[in-house]
Structure 1
């Protein structure tokens, strides 16, 4: 006997042939020995389970309601979390949230630093900010303190207050190790206070920055003070070449090794020392950065087209990698980055 139970605009089709009994078909993929034809449940009700004489069907609505009964079997509708997150619950992506600017460093910093940057969050911003991995190391000032932020392998979520200003200096690829004096594999995924590396020089720099009330003046003081405490680090030439070739997506890692006349083991050691992780992880992270650049440059392209041109095997590969590295879905990430 089949019945339709309309409620709140939802139709649940049930075929009931007997009393409720424990079923071996726990995922509801087809007919069961107890007489409930779960294949007849309308798509959208993806799971069900027995509890005594009650069948619980998981759906997508946010409310619970009794649907009705047949014989000794009572149907009750239970909510399920939607697989599509509310956009309001997603973290804002750094570089696409608030105001972000970057510019070339002064001559005194160009040997070790590629960009200076500034980020200003809106006063009304609440929730997390996701900082995506980019293969780089930064020195930054936030909340009155100076940090060295090591290379990330997944998105970082720093706690920032509404209206927060962050000033940063991004190292040239291959320059951070010499400047800091330690292998980058020791600071992967961490933010170390700069005074642990530079001592009193970093504390004096932080004090001078904190004494400045005007945001525009503070960014000028940041560059000037950083030049005063800067070490003698110069970018490692081999590391810079590896980064440039992998970022451009020219060939595979074996080709990079051949071009630079490095063995596979030597390339791995170089990447761990200069970037914090192996060449494969560097390749994944820089491919994500190529995706972001292409998504913004080609706002009309869908994920399938972007996947093919960026270097993913297919759209599913792109989606898995974005989820693993950024922590949010590819569609949501591209939408934020293009906005």
Structure 2
């Protein structure tokens, strides 16, 4: 069962996921975010995804903190594009001795998800207001070019910065945020055609193509899962 709550860290979400009886694990969909993960005594980092991720191995309990888009690279000290579509051990990014200390600390905590949140709060830096404006603007469906102009950023500078903090360019981020907006509407029961229009797609076929590209399946199958 999946559960989440808002974090005390601005824009972040603390979550847990425990195995349930039934068919295989649900896919993890692209959402513009990166996560710090804990499972079976291991600390990992989930990089920014450009396609659905299907957890491998036997069912396991997971805890995590999902960072606001673009904020994790500063905490981790690694550009987002180096972690794109990857799950890596935290020990591959930070000194091994430090990771061993943190692993022991979280293993001893009664609630690993809360311990992850505390770790993030200790190391996080205040979010860049410009970055938050960029994400908010794209999430609302504003065109990339108009957003860049509003922020006083040239196209090349915006692209370079996006690779560092999001792991991909601003157009990909805008498409992923649009997909998440549309899936929220579809899950709430909005007819597919209306969902496509309200989310900013040209038509329902355009929406279906993006679902297939980013998730590897159809909208109906995705919602069924």
Same fold flag (TM > 0.5): yes
Give the counterpart of 1:310 among 196, 199, 206.
199
Residue 5 of structure 2 corresponds to residue 103 of structure 1: yes
Please say if 1:148 is aligned against 2:25: no
2:121 is aligned with 1:253: no
Query: Does residue 182 of the first structure (1) align with residue 74 of the second (2)?
Result: no
Q: Which ranges in structure 1 are unaligned for 5 or more consecutive residues? A: 1-98
2:16 match:
118
Larger Rg: 1
Give the Cα separation in 2 of the matches to 1:324 and 1:104: 29
| Distance in 1 separating the partners of 2:54 and 2:35 | 15
1:268 aligns with 2:159: yes
* TM-score, reference length from structure 2: 0.90
For 1:211 and 1:125, the matched residues in 2 are separated by: 31
- What residue in structure 2 maps to residue 220 of structure 1? 114
Structure 1 segment 1-339 matched on structure 2, within 5 A: 99-106=1-8, 110=9, 114-122=12-20, 124-162=21-59, 164-199=60-95, 200-211=97-108, 217-224=111-118, 226-227=119-120, 230-249=122-141, 251-297=142-188, 299=189, 301-336=190-225
**TM-score scaled by length of structure 1:** 0.61
If asked which structure has higher relative contact order (CA below 8 Å, sep 6+), I would say 2
Deviation at 1:165, TM superposition (A): 1.4
Larger proportion of strand: 1
How far is 1:140 from its partner? 0.6
Give the helix-richer structure, 1 or 2. 2
SS at match of 1:198: coil
| 8 A Cα contact 1:173 1:235, kept in partner | no
Distance 1:309 1:115 in 2: 26
- Structure 1 pair 208–264 and aligned structure 2 pair: CA distance change class (3 A): same
Instruction: Note the C-alpha offset of 1:149.
Output: 0.8
Specify every segment of 5 or more residues in structure 2 that has no aligned partner in the other structure, as ranges: none
TM-superposed deviation, 1:232 = 4.5
Distance apart, 1:234 and its partner CA: 3.0
SS at match of 1:129: coil
Contact 1:179 1:234 in 2 (8 A): no
- After superposition, the C-alpha distances for 1:180-233 in whole angstroms (9 at most, x for unaligned) are 112111110111111222322222222343356x6xx34334434x258x4343
- Asked whether the equivalents of residues 37 and 44 of structure 2 are also in contact (C-alpha less than 8 Å), the reply is yes
State the shift of 1:126 in Å. 4.3
Instruction: Work out the number of aligned pairs and report it.
Output: 224
